């Protein structure tokens, strides 16, 4: 099997959304389970050591999508990411963010993400995004914290335009996106079961 496995899902009249599983090699030696609900939770000390925070600003703000991907919805808080802007991407139903001074992106911070769950998010976000550590402000407590965020890798991408609208996405694309996400998760679990054999 090639390192880069493409899954194409069509969204009715909209252009197809392409999911790249670019971290296939990384998945092979992984000791982490991609199905956290299938095994007992790690000891509290191990769970605390492996806990990550992830700022989400697009389709992952939907709890339904997160539940399909991770098998649970981790605790979260509303948050703002300063000096960034969210964009629509021509031909795609999900957004991108890039650093832009003076702007801010609203989203959520999921807390307590395990190493295995972070692997799933990395694969889902694919190679067009770069996972970076960013500073965010929690809007429900005014606390600031560091979290991972998936930043669009191509700062000069001509397909980026206008602000992406979460509410509009939910109305128009959520149902089909959930189906695509479920298919993605099933393919990922099949891949993992083959690597365990």
Catalytic residues, which ones? Answer: 125
Query: Of 133, 81, 136, whose CA–CA distance to 106 is shortest?
Result: 81
Distance between start and end Cα atoms, the chain: 15
CB 97 within 8 A of CB 57: yes
Give the alpha-carbon dihedral of 122, 124, 125, 128, to 10 degrees. Answer: 100
Angle among Cα 97, 114, 110 to the nearest 5 degrees reads 45
- Whether the CB-CB separation of 89 and 95 falls below 8 Å is answered with yes
CB within 8 Å of 140: residues ≥ 6 apart: 77, 78
Cβ atoms of 97 and 152 within 8 Å: the answer is: yes
Q: How far apart are CA 18 and CA 91, in angstroms?
A: 10
**Helix 115-125 vs helix 63-70: angle between axes, to the nearest 10 degrees?**
110
């Amino acid at each position: 099997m090639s390192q880069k496995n493409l899954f194409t899902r069509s969204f009715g009249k909209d252009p197809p959304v392409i999911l790249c599983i670019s971290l296939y090699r990384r998945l092979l030696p992984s000791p982490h389970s991609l199905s956290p609900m299938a095994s007992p939770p790690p000891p509290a000390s191990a769970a605390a050591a492996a806990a990550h925070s992830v700022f989400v600003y697009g389709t992952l703000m939907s709890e339904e999508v997160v539940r399909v991907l991770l098998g649970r919805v981790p605790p979260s808080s509303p948050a703002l990411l300063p000096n960034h802007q969210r964009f629509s991407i021509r031909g795609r139903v999900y957004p991108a963010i890039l650093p832009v001074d003076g702007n801010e992106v609203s989203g959520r911070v999921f807390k307590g993400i395990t190493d295995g769950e972070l692997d799933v998010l990395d694969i889902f976000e694919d190679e067009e995004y770069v996972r970076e550590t960013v500073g965010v402000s929690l809007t429900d407590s005014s606390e600031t914290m560091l979290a991972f965020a998936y930043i669009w890798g191509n700062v000069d991408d001509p397909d980026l335009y206008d602000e992406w609208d979460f509410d509009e996405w939910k109305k128009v694309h959520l149902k089909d996106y959930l189906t695509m996400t479920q298919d993605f998760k099933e393919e990922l679990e099949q891949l993992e079961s083959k690597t365990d054999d």
